[in-house]
Structure 1
Amino acid sequence: MSRVTLQTIADRVGVSRMTVSNAFSRPDQLSAQMRRTILEAAADLGYVGPDPSARALARGTTGAVGVLLTESLGTAFLDPIAAAFFGAVAEELAPTGTAVVLLPSISQGMVPARDIPMDGALVYGCAGDYPAVDWLVRRRLPLVFVDGDAVGDASSVHLDEREGARLGAQHLLDLGHRRITILTMNSTAPPGWAPDTRTAGSGYVGRERQTGWVETLEAAGVTPATMEVHDNVEPYVTQGARAVLAGPDRPTAVLCFSDLMAAAVVHAADELGLRVPEDVSVVGYDDSPLARRLRPALTTVHQDFAAKGKAAAGALTAAIARFRAGEPPIPEHHQIPVDLVVRESTAPPAHGGRSG
C-alpha cells in the first residue's frame, strides 16, 4: 500500500493540499463541517497526522509548555493544592491546543528541563538556584514563576501571601488569643537530602506568610512561638503538630502553613484529648477540599485556583507570543487576592488566652 500523504487526502475530498494541512494545523481557518470531512477521510485512509517533529521544525513551535515541579510527579499529585493549580492551567490552555508537560526537578539520566522540546515553562514553587531552573534559563525559554521569586526578566504569579497570613493572625487576635504558635516550613533540608530537594515553602511562600503572621502579632504585642517542619507531607506534618500540642506551654491557637498541617493539628488534638476549637483554635491556609471535609470544618485562607491558573497560563502565552515575534520580554507580575473563610475550627480561648 502506498504512503498516505496530505495530497492523497486532498484528492479524496476534492480540496487543496493547503486546506488539508489547515485541518490539522490551523483548524480555525476551516468550517467545522469541512474539517470533520477531512479528518474522517484521513482516518479512513489510515493517516494519523503530520509528523510532530517535522511540524514543530516548520512552524518554529512545539505546541507544548512545561511545568517544572519541586518534587517527583507522584508526590506532586498527592498535593491537592498543586493538583488544583495544574488543573486550572490545563483548562485555561485547552482552547489553544497547547499540551502541558510536567517536568520533575530531579531525575536520573535524562534532564527534562534541558532535553524536552517546549515553547516555554511555568516554574512552580522552585527556587531560582535549582539546577533545573538554570537549564530553562540557559535555553532562553519564556518563563513564568508561580509561588516563587522570578529570575531575570521572567513574569511571576503569586498569591497575596502576606495579606492572607495577616488575615488569619488578626482573626485570632480579635477572638482574644494571645498564646499563638505558628506551624510552618523549615528553610533547610532534612539531613541527607540533596541541595535541590528543598520545598517551595522554604522560599517565597514561606517567607511571605511568616512575615505576615509575625508582623501582625507583634504589632499587637504578641510574640508567637514557631514550630518548623521539613516538608508539607507525612510524617513531618504529624510530628510537628504533635510537638506543638504536647508541650507544657500549649498554645490556645495555631496558625498553619497549609490545610494539611492544620488537619494534622486537629488530629493531634483529638489524640491528646483536646477539643477544637474549645481547647485550641486552628487556622489553615489554601482552602483546599480538605478544609471543608475536616470536622470541625477548618477556618482557612482561601485562594482562587482558577484565577491563579488563568493568570499563569495567560502570562506564559503572552511571553511566548512576544518571543516568537522577536520582541523583548515585558515582565508581568500578577498578585492574586485572598480572603479568610471563617468556619468552626476557631473560637475565643477558654481562659482568655493566658492559661492552659
Structure 2
Amino acid sequence: MSTASLAFSGAGPIAGTTRERVLAAATELGYSGPNPLGRQLRQGRSGIVGVVVGDALRRSFRDPVSVQVLDGLVGALGELGLGVLLIPGSNDPSEPPVDPLVLSAAMDVAVLMWGGTLHDPVLDALRRRNTPLVVVEGQQLDGVAAVGIEDRSGTTLAVRHLLELGHTRIAVVTLPFDRTRGEGPATDERIDGIVYEVTRRRLGGVTDAGVVPTVVYETPASLVEHGAAAGRAILSGPDRPTAIVAQSDLLASGVVLAARELGLSVPGDVSVAGFDGLDLPWLAPDVLTSVAQPLAEKGAAVGAQVAELLAGGTPERVVLPVALRIGTTTGPVPV
C-alpha cells in the first residue's frame, strides 16, 4: 500500500522502474489512484475554502467587481492546490440569514466577502465552528484576518475633486444599507442604522470632505438598473444637484444613462463620479471619473492570507491603496 501511495504521489523514495510497474498494474485494473476523500481524512483537511459572496450569486456574477476579486482569489488558491466552495449570502429578509452550507460544509478556511459587521450572523456562525476566517472590507475584529481598501479616504478624494470644480449641491447614491435592501431617499434615522460597513465607510468619506448631501439615495444592489432608477429620481426634481457621487461604478454608469435619458448633459448639466475604476467601454463616449481600487490584487491578498492561516500563522490586516482617476463625467459647476 505504501509503495502504491508513493508511486501516485510522485514524492518519496521509490525507484523509477517500481513506479512504472505500479502505474502499469493500476492501468490494467482500471484504478485511477488513491481516494481523495481518504487523503483528506488522513490529513485532517478538506482542501476547500468556503467563500461567502455576500449576495445572491446571480447578482454577484453580474458585478465585474465581484468577478475580478474572485478571479484573483481563485487564481491564488489554485496555486495552493485548494478548491473553492461559493456560498451565497442572504438576500431575502424572509429567509434564514445563514446559508446551511455555512453551518455544515467542510472547509479549511472561510472568506467572508464584503461583510464582517459586528453582529453578522454568518460571521458568528463561522466563529462558533472555529473556522479560520478572512474578512474582506468588513470591520476589523480581534482574531480575524482582514483585507480592506482605503475606500473612505478614496471617497473623500472624489468629493474634494467635485468641490474644486465648484460643486456644492452634491447627492450620493449608495450601496445597500442592510439585508432589507431598501430603495429610495434615506431618512436620517435610516442612515444612522446602516449595518453594512462598506456603505457606512464610503458615506463617511463624503462627510469627511465637509459635504452634507442634498439627498442620500439607497439602492438594493450594485447594478446599472438601480443606478439608473436613482438617477431618474434625483435628477427629475425641481432643485436637482449639480453633482452625484455613487458608491460603485455600475451605479454611477446607471446615473449617467438616466441623465442622457432625461436630456441632460454629462458633465455640462450634472457631474457624476463612481467608485471601483472599472473599464466600461459600453458607456462610450463617456469615461467615468472614479476611485480605482486594485481588484485582482485584493483577491490575491485574500489568497495570501488563506495560505498563512493554513500554515498556522496570524496574518496582519492588509489595507490596499486606491487612486482617483479623472474621466470625462466630471466638470465645472453649471453657470
2:62 alignment counterpart:
78
Partner of residue 201, structure 2: 208
C-alpha spacing 1:21/1:268, structure 2 compared with 1 (3 Å): same
Aligned to 2:104: 115
- Shift of the 178–321 alpha-carbon distance from structure 1 to 2, 3 Å rule, reads same
Seen in structure 2, the aligned counterparts of structure 1 residues 105 and 40 have a Cα distance that, compared at 3 Å, is: farther
Of 144-153 and 123-132, deviating more is 123-132
Question: Which residue of the other structure, out of 118, 134, 138, is the alignment partner of 2:128?
Answer: 138
Relative to the length of structure 2, the TM-score reads 0.84
**Displacement of 1:62:** 1.0
Q: Which of 259, 283, 288 is equivalent to 2:249?
A: 259
Pick from 165, 183, 188 the counterpart of residue 173 of structure 2. 183
CA contact (8 A) 1:301 1:339 kept: yes
Q: Show the counterpart of 1:17.
A: 4
SS in 1 for 2:212: coil
Query: Which residues in structure 2 correspond to 1:147-162 (within 5 Å)?
Result: 147-162=137-152
Alignment check: 8 A CA contact 1:165 1:213 kept: yes
- Quote the offset at 1:234 in angstroms: 6.1
Distance in 1 of aligned mates of 2:327 and 2:311: 44
What is the count of residue pairs matched by the alignment?
312
Equivalent residue for 2:268, pick from 278, 287, 292: 278
| One-letter code aligned to 1:268 | A
Give the AA of the match of 1:277.
Answer: P
Q: Deviations over 1:34-65 (max 9, x none)?
A: 9x979975556532332222111101111111
Q: Name whichever of 232-241 and 106-115 sits farther off.
A: 106-115
Of 113, 126, 142, 2:115 maps to: 126
Q: CA RMSD in A?
A: 2.8
- How big is each residue's C-alpha offset from its partner over 1:51-107, in whole Å with a ceiling of 9 and x where there is no partner? 222111101111111101222222221111111111000111111111111112348
CA distance in 1, matches of 2:99, 2:318: 33
Matched to 1:251, the amino acid is: P
1:325 aligns with: none
Partner of residue 336, structure 1: 320
Provide the C-alpha distance between the structure 2 equivalents of 1:153 and 1:288, rounded to a whole number of angstroms.
33
Q: Which is worse superposed, 99-108 or 175-184?
A: 99-108
Instruction: Indicate the larger mover: 201-210 or 311-320.
Output: 201-210
**Aligned match of 1:58:** 42
Q: Are residues 168 and 315 of structure 1, via their aligned partners in 2, closer, same or farther at CA, if it must alter by over 3 Å?
A: same
Question: What is the CA–CA distance in structure 2 between the aligned matches of 1:251 and 1:346, rounded to whole Å?
Answer: 13
The answer to whether the Cα contact below 8 Å between 1:144 and 1:150 also exists between their aligned partners in 2 is: no
Change (3 A) 1:37 1:204: farther
Give 1 or 2: higher helix fraction.
Answer: 1
SS at match of 1:273: coil
Q: Which whole-Å CA distance do the structure 1 matches of 2:33 and 2:252 have between them?
A: 50
TM-score of the superposed pair, with normalisation by structure 1: 0.79
Aligned with 2:213 (options 210, 224, 227): 224
With over 3 angstroms needed to count, the CA separation of the structure-2 counterparts of 1:44 and 1:173, relative to structure 1, is farther
Aligned partner of 2:6: which letter? T
* Aligned partner of residue 311 in structure 2, secondary structure: helix
